[in-house]
Amino acid sequence: MDYYVIDVFTDKVFSGNPAGVCLLDNWLPDDVLQNIAMENNLSETAFLVKQNNHYELRYFTPTIEVNLCGHATIASAFVLFEETKKVTSEIITFKTKSEMVTVTKENGLINLDFPARPPTPCLMYPAFEKAFGIKPLGVYRCVDFLVLLDSEEALRSLEPDFLCLKQVKSEAKIDVDDFGVAVTARGSDCDFVSRFFAPNAGIDEDPVTGRAHCSLIPFWSGKLGKTRLFARQLSKRGGVLFCEDRGERVKISGTAVRYLKGKIEINKKCKNNL
């Protein structure tokens, strides 16, 4: 199968968030997909199969399948728009396990049309303070958690205890591993900054997280009184996102660049080990 690694929410390699993209003619067994993602060892590997007027799209971390992933969606669109040239229009529809997702290309940016997931206040579970060594200003939740800090400096200096952070699952009585914790603050040279941790999903820190902005955008739009926002994710690799609050939807835009192009071949010996 054709395989790409695309760095997303950046315009230069070795930054942003890398996603693997695998182009399939037909779906392989789930255990094969999971093992490929584990072998790739990226936060997400996306798998695509063409279906009539859309693409089916699935995402795997090294340990589990997740329902929605922003940067891997942009990476998939980038491959179809720029690498394979299989899409001649400037719009692609993906069928994910979460919903149908539309991606467009405009003025050098790839734009995600994702569901808005406004977070609401929730309990400040003990694991948050233990894991971060700091008392948050507030904790909110939708699909993922949102933890508010008082400054960008506090966010930059976080060194989470991931074993403690994993305890949020039991404290909050969550029965799935597909959730994460977005920690956020006002930005010094942008509207807001964030970092994203998902140790239960096999990702200690995700470099740049489109999905988290489904909640971050409506949260900060309400706080700042504006619908168009510029955001930075402050992981070691770093990334930038152009955001818009559209009510029930959010627009998440960014650039991408190819790091790698190659092929994955699953030989008979490998198949016998699955």
The catalytic residues are: 44
What whole-number distance in Å separates Cα of residue 68 and Cα of residue 81? 20
Instruction: Give the Å distances, CA to CA, from 14 to 110, 168, 257, 258.
Output: 19, 31, 10, 10
Q: What is the 3-state secondary structure (H, E, C) of 121-161?
A: ECCCCHHHHHHHCCCCCEEEECCCEEEECCCHHHHHCCCCC
- Whether 6 and 82 have beta carbons less than 8 Å apart is answered as no
DSSP H/E element including 73: helix 70-78
CA-wise closest residue to 249 among 214, 209, 220, 222: 214
What whole-number distance in Å separates Cα of residue 138 and Cα of residue 12? 35
Following CA atoms 40, 41, 46, 48 in sequence, which dihedral angle do they give, to the nearest 10 degrees? 20
Following CA atoms 43, 72, 216, 64 in sequence, which dihedral angle do they give, to the nearest 10 degrees? -40
What whole-number distance in Å separates Cα of residue 108 and Cα of residue 90? 11
- Scanning the structure block, which residue is given the tokens 């939807």? 249
DSSP of 178-239, one letter per residue?
A: ---EEEEEE-SSSSEEEEEEEGGGTEEEESS-TTTHHHHHHHHHHHHT-SEEEEEE-SSS-E
